[in-house]
């Protein structure tokens, strides 16, 4: 049976840009675009720009398939390869950080912000500044600069659409007009590959084990964050900025099956949940077609076949990253920026075999302690302030790892 699709007037013809098109989220986004084009035609989602960090071969392939106006490689040394690969196509090729910002500034109606880590902050900020619909798959933007980003969105009229499965679930079941009736939001976590592993055994896990997530197909950095549960800690901070809830109004529950993506608890005792098979194309499709709906190829959820769904509280002794993130949110000021920067540095070192798995939260906590949890940090009034603090935190993490 062929795929049929009715995007509705709000989504049909939406011009899009994908920042981070060669990562797992970017590839899932383009898979949905390709399916829509097969059903409706190339006019369904014309592509304005595609960007990648260093996977120039994949970017060339994507650009030749989807024919954007602009293709950008973040690593400037690879620009000549990109130009050669796109010769004769009429697609403009560019490279470097300034070109990433140029891609975000181009006139796309909808921008997928999927550049991993703090590196995605400046391009995402540029897309928000011009008032686009921005699908946020980069949680670090709000962790590092939540106050700045949300204030900019209010000024520019940009629409922030959460593309993470958990935040997208909240977005779908949250009664925005009935905020006073909500007691709390509940973010679910798979628990990652080491949910039931002892601390002694976790001390010896390898990067290959840490990136082998049991349910989701994700990039290396996010997979490691899931294994430490830092990913969930970052999501608590992101949820605070997206939905306006305090740290004590955001609960985390371990849910190994990854079927219930998150929940909202109301004062009358009702708990509304969004369920689905673990496939990032579902939340991406929701943001891409918003405020309508579109077909997605995700496996349909069969609860009878799935059987039991289980939940448990997280163990913050074995997974201290969640505690560190909550503390950072409660302290505010520069603490979340320090948390994120130190974590990125530590994860990179772990993937490179320079530190152990359990060293990741130790490095993060050490950097926070050295910098007094950001309490003495001046207000972060501009991106330059965020980048300066980010750099200082990475240096502290580097020193801790070389001590």
Tell me which residue has tokens 């993490």: 397
The residue that leads in pLDDT, 10 or 348, is 348
The H or E element that residue 133 is part of is strand 133-136
What's the confidence (pLDDT) of residue 218? 72
- For residue 12, the model assigns a pLDDT of 63
* pLDDT tier for residue 43 given thresholds of 50, 70 and 90: confident
Residue range(s) occupied by CATH 3.40.50.720 in the chain = 16-162
The three-state secondary structure class of 1 is: coil
Q: How many CB atoms lie within 10 A of CB 127?
A: 26
pLDDT of 140: 87
200-228 tens-digit pLDDT: 999 999 999 998 877 766 778 989 999 99
Q: Report the run of H or E that residue 159 belongs to, with start and end.
A: strand 159-162
For residue 399, list its beta bridge partners: none
**In the structure, what pLDDT confidence band is assigned to residue 29 with cuts at 50, 70 and 90?**
very high
Q: What is the mean pLDDT of residues 161-173?
A: 97
* Mean pLDDT in residue range 363-387: 91
**pLDDT given for residue 216 in this prediction:** 65
- What pLDDT is attached to residue 379? 80
Look over the chain and give the mean of its residue pLDDT values, rounded to a whole number: 93
Q: Give 17's contacts (C-beta < 8 A, 6+ positions apart).
A: 47, 48, 49, 50, 51, 68, 103, 104, 106, 108, 110, 111, 112, 127
| pLDDT tens-digit series, residues 231-257 | 999 999 999 999 999 999 999 999 999
- What is the per-residue pLDDT across 68-117, written as a single tens digit (0 to 9) for each? 999 999 999 999 999 999 999 999 999 999 999 999 999 999 999 999 88
State yes or no: pLDDT of 286 exceeds 50: yes
Nearest residue to 74 via CA among 92, 100, 113:
100
Model pLDDT for residues 296-311, shown as the tens digit of each residue:
999 999 999 999 999 9
Q: CATH 1.10.1740.10 occupies which residues in the chain?
A: 332-403
332-403 adopts what CATH topology?
Rna Polymerase Sigma Factor; Chain: A (1.10.1740)
**What CATH number was assigned to the domain covering residues 16-162?**
3.40.50.720
Residue 225 and residue 234 in contact, taking contact as beta carbons nearer than 8 Å: yes
Distance of CA 375 to the CA centre of its chain: 26
Which of 403, 398, 402 shows the shortest CA–CA distance to 346? Answer: 398
Instruction: Evaluate if residue 193 carries a pLDDT over 50.
Output: yes
In the predicted structure, residue 9 carries a pLDDT above the cut 80: no
Query: CA–CA separation, 14 vs 9, rounded Å?
Result: 9
């Amino acid at each position: 049976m062929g795929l049929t699709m009715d995007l509705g007037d709000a989504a049909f013809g939406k011009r899009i840009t994908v920042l981070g098109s060669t990562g797992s989220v970017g590839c899932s986004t383009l898979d949905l675009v390709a399916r829509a084009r097969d059903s409706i035609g190339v006019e369904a989602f014309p592509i304005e720009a595609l960007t990648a960090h260093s996977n120039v071969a994949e970017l060339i392939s994507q650009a030749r398939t989807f024919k954007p106006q602009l293709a950008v490689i973040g690593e400037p040394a690879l620009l000549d390869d990109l130009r050669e690969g796109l010769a004769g196509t009429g697609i403009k090729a560019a490279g470097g950080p300034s070109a990433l910002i140029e891609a975000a500034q181009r006139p796309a109606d909808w921008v997928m912000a999927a550049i991993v880590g703090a590196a995605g902050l400046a391009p995402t900020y540029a897309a928000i500044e011009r008032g686009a619909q921005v699908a946020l798959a980069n949680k670090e933007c709000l962790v590092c600069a939540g106050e700045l980003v949300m204030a900019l969105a209010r000024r520019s009229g940009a629409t922030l659409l959460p593309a993470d499965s958990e935040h997208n679930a909240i977005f779908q079941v949250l009664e925005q007009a009935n905020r006073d009736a909500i007691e709390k939001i509940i973010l679910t976590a798979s628990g990652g590959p080491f949910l039931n592993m002892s601390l002694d055994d976790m001390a010896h896990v390898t990067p290959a084990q840490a990136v082998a997530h049991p349910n989701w197909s994700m990039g290396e950095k996010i997979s490691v964050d899931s294994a430490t549960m830092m990913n969930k800690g970052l999501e608590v901070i992101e949820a605070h900025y997206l939905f306006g809830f305090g740290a004590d109004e955001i609960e985390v529950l371990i849910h190994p099956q990854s079927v219930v993506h998150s929940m909202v608890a109301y004062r009358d005792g009702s708990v509304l949940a969004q369920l689905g098979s673990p496939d990032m194309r579902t939340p991406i499709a929701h943001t891409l077609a918003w405020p309508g709906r579109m077909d997605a190829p995700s496996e349909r959820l069969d609860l009878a076949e799935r059987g039991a769904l289980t939940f448990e509280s997280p163990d913050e002794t074995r997974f201290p990253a969640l505690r560190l993130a909550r503390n950072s949110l409660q302290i505010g000021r520069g603490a979340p920026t320090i948390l994120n920067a130190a974590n990125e540095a530590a994860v990179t070192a772990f993937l490179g075999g320079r530190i152990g798995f359990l060293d990741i939260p130790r490095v993060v906590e050490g950097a926070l302690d050295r910098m007094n949890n950001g309490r003495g940090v001046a207000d972060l009034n501009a991106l330059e302030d965020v980048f300066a603090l980010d750099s200082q935190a990475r240096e502290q993490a580097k020193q801790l790892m070389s001590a």
